[in-house]
Every structure is written in structure tokens, then in C-alpha cells.
Amino acid sequence: MLLLEQDERFNERIKIIKVYENNIPKVYLDQNWIRKVFWNLLVNSIDAMPRGGKIYIHVRRPNVPNNEEIEIVVADTGEGIPPEIMKKIFEPFFTTKKTKGTGLGLPIVHRIVDNHGGVINVKSERNKGTSFTIRLPIKNKQIKTVLV
């Protein structure tokens, strides 16, 4: 978070709200790669809110029977993603950022989550925001080598 707050895109009009529930068990993660997941999702959220807004980070254990995973939600109050673009966001080199995007951020996020045995889903509503929900297994002791 500290690096993000030093980024030129971050400003006082962006508020980050973090909610970490108490019942979160240990999860085996590659810390460096998971940091890249958060970085990419947070930078995309900031870019989607040029006039400011809120970013919510919620880490919880879903309340379902026999649940063996944690859920991380990164949501923003930004512009949202149009349906025609939503289909392409995890495709390598697809970008809507005219000058600064490589189109690799979200494909890398997808690959890292997959290599941790997890899944990522996205929901978006125009002019209301976007939320990325990541589910990661609790007992994943073998993380695949990440090749991106």
C-alpha cells in the first residue's frame, strides 16, 4: 500500500477502505506474486476513478458449508467496464489505456491466481464501479511456478 500511495496516480481524492475479517486462516501464497495481483488491481481501480472515489479491499472466509478457501474482493466506485470490453480484459495485450497500458496487467493477475489454485471473477456496472473477487484455497501447499 505504501508504494501505491507514492504512485503519481494516487491522490487525496482516492480513499482505500480495508476490511479484514478475524476468521482468516493461514493461506500459502507466493508473497511477491500476490503483491503483483494487488498492485495491478489497485492501479486499475485508481485509473477508473480520475475524479476520485473509493476502493474497498475485503478479505473474508465465505460463509458456506465445508468452505476451504478465502475470498478477497477488490472493488471500486469507478467508471465500470463496458460489456464489450469485459469479454477481453484477461486477454494478453488488450488495453483501453491509450498511452500507458501494455495490456498485460489483468492477464498476469489471472495467471497468478490460477497458479495459486484459485479463481478470479469480475462484475462491473457502468458509472457504479467494478469488483474483482479472488478465491484462493486454504490448503494449497504447492504453488505452481509462475510463468508470465
CA–CA gap between residue 44 and residue 90 (Å, rounded): 13
80-96 tens-digit pLDDT: 999 999 999 999 988 88
Report the DSSP pairing between strands 119-125 and 14-20: unpaired
* Contact of 131 with 123, CB cutoff 8 Å: yes
Position with higher pLDDT, 138 vs 113? 113
Q: In the chain, where are the structural domains located? A: 2-137
pLDDT at position 146 over 60: no
- Residue 148 reports pLDDT greater than 50: no
CATH topology of domain 2-137: Heat Shock Protein 90 (3.30.565)
pLDDT 10s digits, 10-44:
667 899 999 999 888 888 888 899 999 999 999 99
Residue-wise DSSP of 21-69:
-TTPPP----HHHHHHHHHHHHHHHHHT-TT-EEEEEEEE----TT--E
pLDDT number for residue 140: 64
**What 3-state class would DSSP assign to 121?**
strand
pLDDT confidence of residue 145: 55
Share of the chain above pLDDT 70, in %: 86
pTM reported for the whole predicted model? 0.85
* pLDDT at position 2: 47
CA–CA gap between residue 91 and residue 95 (Å, rounded): 9
